Structure formats: C-alpha cells, structure tokens
Structure 1
Amino acid sequence: MRVLVAGATGAVGRQLVPRLEAAGHEVVGISRRGPRPVDVLDAGAVRRAVAEAAPDAVVHQLTDLGGADGAANNRVRIEGTRNLVDAALAAGVRRIVAQSIAWAYAPGEGPADESVPLDPTEQGPRARVVAGVRALEAAVAELPEAVVLRYGILYGPGTWYAPGGAVAAWLGGTAGPAFLGSTVADGSVSSFVHVADAAEAAVQALDWPPGAYNVVDDEPATGYEWLPALTEALGAPAPDRMAGRASWARGASNGRARALGWVPARPSWRTGFVDQGA
C-alpha cells in the first residue's frame, strides 16, 4: 500500500515511518520540516502534496506541540485536518487513520470506552480543546474508511514526558505548558501510551474497520500513583500533592483495540517511564 504520512517528523511519525516500511508499505512523508516541507495550514500546498503522492491511504499525525501553544495545536487540528481531508477527497483517497486524544470524553466514573460521548462542556480552555477534537474527528469521518486513534498521553522519545522534555523542565522549576500542575499531582486519572505503541497501532489501523479506538496502555492511574514514578525515573523533585480530581480526567479503556490484536509492548507506565527508549 502507498501511504502518505502527514506529520512524518513528529514524535509518533518518526516511530511510524520505519514500521510502515518494515510492513512492506511504500511511504511518502510530509511535515513542516524535512525533505518534503509542507505547511498544513496552506490548503493549496497540501492539495498539491497529496495529489503528487497519489496515496492509497493517509495517516494523519499532525500536531503543533513544540511551543506548548494550545491555540496553535488546535488550529492544526481544525484547519490542518480540514485541508488534509479536502486534499484526500480530491485525490480519491478512501482510507485515513488520524491521531486524536483519549482525554476528551464526558465526565464520569471509571475509564471511558469509545461509546462515551465527547465532553459537552462550554467552560474555558477545555471547551476549546474538545471543540478541536470534535472538528478533527468530524472532518476525517467524511472519508468512507476513517479510523480515529484516540491516543493516551504520549511519552517516550520526542515527547514532553521524555528525559529533558517539558515536563522534566516543569518539575525542575521551569515554566511549562499551562495544564501542568492542574491535573497532575491530584486524584485525576490519566491514561498513557508510549510513542512506539502508538505508532504500531497506526500501522495496524490501516486494516481496521472504520471507527474510533482508544490507544492507551493497560493501567489508567491517578496523579498520586504515576507522578512519583515519573519523577523518580526523571530524577526530578516531586511537586506538592494536591487535593481533588477533575471529573473528566477518568482514563480510557483499550479493549476495542486489543480485540483487534493490538498489544502494547509497554503495557504500563510503571515500567515504561523507566525505559522510555532513545
């Protein structure tokens, strides 16, 4: 299969391209940097790149997280996805695999499965994040064979949670992304996934039935549980423990992806934080 990877130089993209090639696929990668620089906010440039690649499938791994700018990342989710979908439709592409997130679900108890609706909140920053996710998922659903991968919090090489990343800097006293500290050192529940496991899911998803799938490890956990393990692995000081829990921070269940044969090589952050890889 000829596969166009949008976001080929990102944290997941760097793991994904060699896995696709090892599986026998012909890969064309585009990103803001690298041999095929394409600005995803430039609709004409995206259309030309997709038309030239003439792919059988598109894998969407586009983000803008380097500057910890939520508005910039949301713009990529909304406008960048719209441009990529329009280009794919114009090129006659039927299948798309797209990166989404597993923490946009409505509040509730216990890990969310894919039947839980997205959060209907209209409050502040979270409403903007969920609106971006909703727009992304609605756009990719316009292709007849759309697979949405709702990743847990990504850790591993090139992520905020890697040694030397934004979270380590924040733990060391440097200002970091705005969300840090709000649902980290309290009872809020998070689900994680290593970037290599996320990439492997994207490879397998080229053959999955259309729909949404949570791509998370096996152990949703509160900040009380996972943060001490992360700080120990990073050699960083632990922040003060906070009371409370965000009602939407409930973690996610990976049962649907596992039923199709996806098995995370790092099934828990407990061991994954210690050996994040290079």
Structure 2
Amino acid sequence: MRVFVAGATGAVGRLLVPQLLEAGHHVTGTSRSDAGADRVRSQGADAVQVDVFDRHALHEALARTMPDAVIHQLTDLAGADGQATNRLRREGTRNLIDAAKDAGVAKIVVQSIAWVYAPGTGPADEEVPLDSAAAEPRAAMVDGIRTMEDTAGEMESAVALRYGVLYGPGTWYAPGGSVVAALGGDPDAPFLGSVAADDSVTSFVHVADAARAAVDALNWPSGPVNITDDEPARGRDWVPVLAAALHVTAPDSASGAPAWARGASNHLARARGWRPEYPSWRLGFTEMQP
C-alpha cells in the first residue's frame, strides 16, 4: 500500500515510518523543514517538505504521490499552544482531507485523543458521547476534536485513533521533557496536562504502541477507536511512579477530580487484534530513566 504520513517527524510519526516500511508499505512522509525531510529519507521513506496550511502545495504533494491511504499524525504541541493545536485540527485537517479527496484517496487514519468524553463513571468506551457541555478552555479542545473527526469522516473510510496520553521518546513525559519541569514547579513549563496526584483518572499509551495502532488501523473499519494501555490510573497512583522514574520529587497526594477525568477503555482495539507492548504505564515509566 502507498501510505502518505502527514507529520512523519513527530513523536508518533518518527516511530510510525519504520513500522510501515517493515510491514511492506511504500511510505511518503511530510515535514515542514529540510532537516525533517532528510530524517524521513534516512529511514528509507520518500519525503515531501510541505506545510499543511499551504493548500496549493499540499494538493500538489498528494496529486504527485497518489497514496492509497493517508495517516494524519500532525500536532502542534511543542509549545503547549492550545489555539495553534485547534487551528491545526480544524484548518489543517480540512486542507489535508480536501487534498486527499482530490487525489482519489479512499482511506484516512487520524490522530485523536481519548480524554474528550462526557463525564461519567468508569473508563469511557467509544459509545460515550464527546463532552459537549464542557466549559472553556476544555470546550475548545473538544470542539476541535469533533471538527477534526467529522472532517475526516467525509472520506470513504476514516479511523480516528483516540490516543491516551502519549509518553515515551519525544513526548512531554520523556526525561528532560516538560513534565519534569512541571513536577519541579516551573510555572512556565510548556505543558497542557496535569501532574496533580489526585483522583483524576488518566489512560496512557506508549508512543511505540500508538504507532503500531496506526499501522493496524489501515485495515480497520471506519469509526473512533480508543488506543490506550490496560490500566487507567488515578493521579495519586501514577504521578509518584513517574516522579521516581524521572528522579524528581512527587507532589503531595490530593483528593478530588473533574468528572470527565475517567480514563478510556481499549476493549475495541484489542478486539481488532491490537496489543500494547506496554500494557501498563508502570512498565513504560520504569524504562524512562534519565
């Protein structure tokens, strides 16, 4: 299969490209920079230097490469700019879908998130609606995700991978990443998450498992799929383990949690044959030694 990876140098993309090649696919990866394009080529894939907000260049790239499928792994999270990320989910996805449809592409796999579900008890599955009653700033994030998934749904086949919180190489949770600074009390740490050791439930997924799910999803039917590990966990449980792995001081435990912080179930992904190499954040965190 000819696969076009938009965002091939991001935390997931850089692991996804070699996995796709190993699976026998012909891969074209995008980057906004010369250095990023060179990195994609060094992995054995073709590369296109293009900005997703440049509609003309994006249409040219898709028309030239004529992929069978597009995998959307574009993010704008390095600076923890929520508005920039929402713009990418809205405008960037719109441009990518328009270019893909014009090029005759039938399949798209998009990177979504698993913490946008409505409040409730227990881990959310894909039947739970998105949190339409959320207050700002969460409301903007939920609406951005809804718009992105709806836009992708215009394709003949569209799978939305609702990833848990990504950790591992290249993420905020890696040694030297923003979470270390946040745990250290740095108010300027570029981080949109929480390191409160409270009752909030989080579902994690290692970036390597996230990448493997994108490969598997090329053969999945349309619809959203939660991609998380097997152990949703309260902050009071996972924060101390992460802090110990990163050799920083954990915050004091606290009580309380927002009603939407419920985690997500991976039963559907497992039913489709996906198996996380890191079934628990406990295993993954201990490998992240600084």
> TM-score, normalised on structure 2?
0.92
Aligned to 1:3: 3
Unaligned runs of 5+ in 2: 38-47
> Quick one: which amino acid aligns to residue 238 of structure 2?
W
* Partner of residue 246 from structure 1, selected from 258, 277, 282: 258
How far is 1:66 from its partner?
0.8
Aligned to 1:17: 17
Q: Say if 2:156 is the partner of 1:144.
A: yes
How far is 1:166 from its partner?
0.6
> Quick one: which amino acid aligns to residue 18 of structure 2?
P
* Partner of residue 217 from structure 2, selected from 187, 205, 208: 205
C-alpha deviations, 1:194-228, integer Å up to 9, x for none? 00000000001100111110000000001011100
SS of residue matched to 1:124? coil
Aligned to 2:101: 89
How far is 1:274 from its partner?
1.0
Q: Say if 2:210 is the partner of 1:176.
A: no
Contact 1:157–1:277 (CA under 8 A) maintained in structure 2: no
Number of aligned positions between the proteins:
277
RMSD of the TM alignment (CA)?
Answer: 1.4
* More divergent stretch after superposition (6-15 vs 168-177): 168-177
> TM-score, normalised on structure 1?
0.96
How far is 1:51 from its partner?
1.2
How far is 1:191 from its partner?
0.2
* Partner of residue 161 from structure 1, selected from 151, 173, 181: 173
C-alpha deviations, 1:162-218, integer Å up to 9, x for none? 11101011112322246444x732111000000000000000110011111000000
Q: Say if 2:227 is the partner of 1:215.
A: yes
Aligned to 2:40: none
Distance, in Å, in 1 between the alignment partners of 2:246 and 2:82 is 25
Contact 2:6–2:72 (CA under 8 A) maintained in structure 1: yes
> Quick one: which amino acid aligns to residue 5 of structure 1?
V
* Partner of residue 191 from structure 1, selected from 196, 203, 215: 203
Unaligned runs of 5+ in 1: none
Aligned to 1:264: 276
Contact 1:229–1:273 (CA under 8 A) maintained in structure 2: yes
Aligned to 1:104: 116
C-alpha distance 180-201 of structure 1, shift in aligned 2 (>3 A): closer
Distance, in Å, in 2 between the alignment partners of 1:74 and 1:253 is 25
Contact 2:179–2:191 (CA under 8 A) maintained in structure 1: no
* More divergent stretch after superposition (48-57 vs 2-11): 48-57
Distance, in Å, in 2 between the alignment partners of 1:108 and 1:44 is 44
> Quick one: which amino acid aligns to residue 83 of structure 1?
N
